[in-house]
C-alpha cells in the first residue's frame, strides 16, 4: 500500500463555525488563534449575553446556585 500525503493547508481546515450563530465562515489567516465569531456583530452579541448571564447568575439565591 502506498501512503498518500495531504498538503499542509487543507481547504476545510480554514472552515470554522461561529460560536454565536453557528454559521460557517472562513478563517482569514492561519496565524494566531482561531477566531470564535464570524463578525463583529456576533462578538458584540456574545459580550452582551455573557454580561446578562453573569448578572442573572449573581442574582440567584444561594440555594439555586451551582456548586463549583
Domain ranges of the chain: 12-64
d(CA 55, CA 23): 27
The H-assigned helical ranges of the chain are 40-59
Is 13 in contact with 34 (CB distance < 8 Å)? no
- Residue 66 pLDDT greater than 60, yes or no: yes
The confidence band for 34, taking pLDDT boundaries of 50, 70 and 90, is confident
Stated pTM of the model:
0.58
The confidence band for 55, taking pLDDT boundaries of 50, 70 and 90, is confident
| Average pLDDT over all residues of the chain | 80
Three-state SS at 2: coil
Which one-letter DSSP state was computed for residue 26? E
Amino acid at each position: 500500500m502506498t501512503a498518500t500525503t495531504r498538503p499542509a493547508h487543507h481547504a476545510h481546515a480554514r472552515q470554522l463555525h461561529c460560536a454565536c450563530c453557528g454559521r460557517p465562515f472562513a478563517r482569514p489567516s492561519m496565524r494566531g488563534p482561531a477566531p470564535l465569531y464570524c463578525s463583529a456583530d456576533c462578538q458584540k452579541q456574545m459580550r452582551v449575553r455573557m454580561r446578562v448571564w453573569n448578572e442573572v447568575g449573581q442574582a440567584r439565591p444561594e440555594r439555586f446556585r451551582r456548586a463549583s
